[in-house]
C-alpha cells in the first residue's frame, strides 16, 4: 500500500459548522491522501437539483444525489488579495452574523456599526477584544470577515468600500471595485445535505489539485475516491472516510455527517449519485 500523507482541512469550514449547530468533528482531523479503494458496493435513488450563485457570479449546479430530508443550506468563502493585503470573506444567509456571534465565538458582543454601499456593516469583538469580525448586511445575505484586534468603524468601512457587492436571493457576488487592484484568488461553496452530509466545491484550481492521478471507482455520473479519516481506529463504514467525487462538470469533497440518519447503504447510494455541474 502506498504511504499516506496527512492533509489538514480548512479550519474555517468546521467553525462554520458550529454556527449551524452541526459540527462535523471529522473535519478537524488530519486525513490520509486518496488511495485506490478495494471493492466497495455503491448501490440508485431519486435525486434533487441544487442551484446557487458563487461569489464570482458563476452559477453552481449540483445534483445532490438524494432527495434531502430538509431544505439544503450553503455557505461560501472567498479570498481577495491586492499586493500585501489579503482578506477572506464568508457569505451566509441573512442573520449569519448573529449566529456566528452567539455560536462560533467566545464572548462575542456588538461594539459598533458603520455603512458601506448604502447598507449597514455590523462590528463585533470576540475573546475580550483579541480579534473582531464585521458583516456587511445585504438584503438576502451577510458578508463576514475577521479582523485582528478591534478596528475602528472607519477601518472596517474602508475594507468593504473596496468591494463590489451584488446581493440576490440566489447568492451574493463579491469582487474588488474597479478603482482597486483587489482580485479573487480562491472561493469555495459548502452545501449541507440534511440527513446525509456535506458537499464542498472549490474553484477550478482547487478542483485540479484534488483530482487523483489514478482511476477511481465508477459512479452514475463519473468517478469517486475515498479518503480514510485518520482519527478512526477502523475504516469499515462510509462515515469513516471522506470522498472525492468527480463528474463532467467539476470535482467536490464529500463528508458523511457523523450522526447521519441514513443507513450505510443509503449513504453509499447518495455518494454514487452526486453530480457537479
pLDDT for res 17: 55
Contact predicate 167/142, CB 8 Å: no
Q: Residue 68 — pLDDT band, cuts 50, 70, 90? A: confident
Answer with the residue of higher pLDDT: 194 or 14.
Answer: 194
C-alpha span between 239 and 24 (Å, rounded): 11
**Which uninterrupted H or E stretch holds 107?**
none
Q: Residue 42 — pLDDT band, cuts 50, 70, 90? A: low
* Average pLDDT of span 55-76: 92
Contact predicate 247/260, CB 8 Å: no
Q: Is the pLDDT assigned to residue 48 strictly greater than 50?
A: yes
pLDDT for res 85: 84
Sequence-distant (≥ 6) Cβ neighbours of residue 229 within 8 angstroms: 26, 29, 31, 32, 235, 240, 241, 242
pLDDT for res 114: 97
Which grid cell sits at 238? 462510509
Q: What is the pLDDT of residues 151-209, one digit of tens each?
A: 999 999 999 999 999 999 999 999 999 888 899 999 999 999 999 999 999 999 988 89
| Burial degree of 206 (CB within 10 A; 0-12, 13-18, 19+) | middle
Q: Among 22-31, 162-171, 212-221, 246-255, whose mean pLDDT is lowest?
A: 22-31
Q: Tell me the sheet residues that pair with 119.
A: 116
pLDDT for res 153: 96
> Please, where are the H alpha helices in the chain?
11-19, 96-103, 153-161, 204-210, 264-273
Q: What is the pLDDT of residues 113-150, one digit of tens each?
A: 999 999 999 999 988 888 999 999 999 999 999 999 98
Edge-first strand listing for the sheet containing 141-148: 109-116, 119-126, 131-137, 141-148, 85-93, 73-82, 183-193, 197-202, 250-256, 241-247, 222-228, 217-218
pLDDT for res 14: 53
C-alpha span between 241 and 207 (Å, rounded): 19
Contact predicate 137/121, CB 8 Å: yes
pLDDT for res 106: 74
> Does the predicted TM-score (pTM) go above 0.75?
yes
Q: Among 38-47, 89-98, 109-118, 159-168, whose mean pLDDT is lowest?
A: 38-47
* Average pLDDT of span 220-229: 92
Percentages (nearest 5) of helix, strand, coil residues in the chain: 20, 45, 40
C-alpha span between 246 and 36 (Å, rounded): 15
**How many CA atoms within 13 Å lie on the side-chain side of 48?**
14
Q: Residue 33 — pLDDT band, cuts 50, 70, 90? A: very low
Among 102, 120, 101, 122, residue whose Cα is nearest residue 112: 122
Amino acid at each position: 500500500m502506498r504511504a499516506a500523507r496527512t492533509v489538514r482541512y480548512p479550519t474555517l469550514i468546521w467553525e462554520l459548522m458550529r454556527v449551524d449547530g452541526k459540527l462535523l468533528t471529522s473535519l478537524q482531523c488530519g486525513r490520509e491522501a486518496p488511495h485506490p479503494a478495494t471493492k466497495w458496493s455503491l448501490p440508485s435513488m431519486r435525486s434533487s437539483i441544487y442551484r446557487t450563485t458563487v461569489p464570482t457570479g458563476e452559477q453552481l449546479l449540483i445534483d445532490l444525489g438524494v432527495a434531502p430530508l430538509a431544505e439544503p443550506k450553503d455557505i461560501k468563502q472567498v479570498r481577495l488579495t491586492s499586493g500585501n493585503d489579503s482578506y477572506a470573506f464568508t457569505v451566509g444567509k441573512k442573520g449569519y452574523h448573529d449566529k456566528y456571534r452567539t455560536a462560533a465565538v467566545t464572548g462575542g458582543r456588538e461594539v459598533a456599526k458603520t455603512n458601506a454601499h448604502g447598507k449597514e456593516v455590523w462590528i463585533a469583538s470576540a475573546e475580550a477584544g483579541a480579534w473582531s469580525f464585521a458583516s456587511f448586511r445585504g438584503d438576502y445575505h451577510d458578508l463576514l470577515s475577521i479582523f485582528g484586534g478591534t478596528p475602528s468603524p472607519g477601518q472596517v468601512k474602508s475594507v468593504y468600500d473596496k468591494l463590489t457587492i451584488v446581493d440576490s436571493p440566489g447568492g451574493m457576488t463579491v469582487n474588488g471595485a474597479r478603482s482597486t487592484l483587489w482580485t479573487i484568488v480562491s472561493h469555495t461553496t459548502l452545501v449541507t445535505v440534511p440527513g446525509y452530509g456535506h458537499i464542498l466545491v472549490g474553484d477550478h484550481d482547487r478542483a485540479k489539485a484534488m483530482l487523483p492521478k489514478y482511476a477511481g471507482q465508477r459512479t452514475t455520473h463519473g468517478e469517486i475516491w475515498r479518503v480514510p479519516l485518520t482519527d478512526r481506529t477502523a475504516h469499515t463504514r462510509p462515515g469513516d472516510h471522506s470522498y472525492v467525487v468527480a463528474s463532467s462538470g467539476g470535482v467536490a469533497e464529500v463528508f458523511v455527517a457523523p450522526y447521519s440518519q441514513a443507513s450505510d447503504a443509503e449513504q453509499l447510494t447518495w455518494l454514487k449519485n452526486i453530480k457537479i455541474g
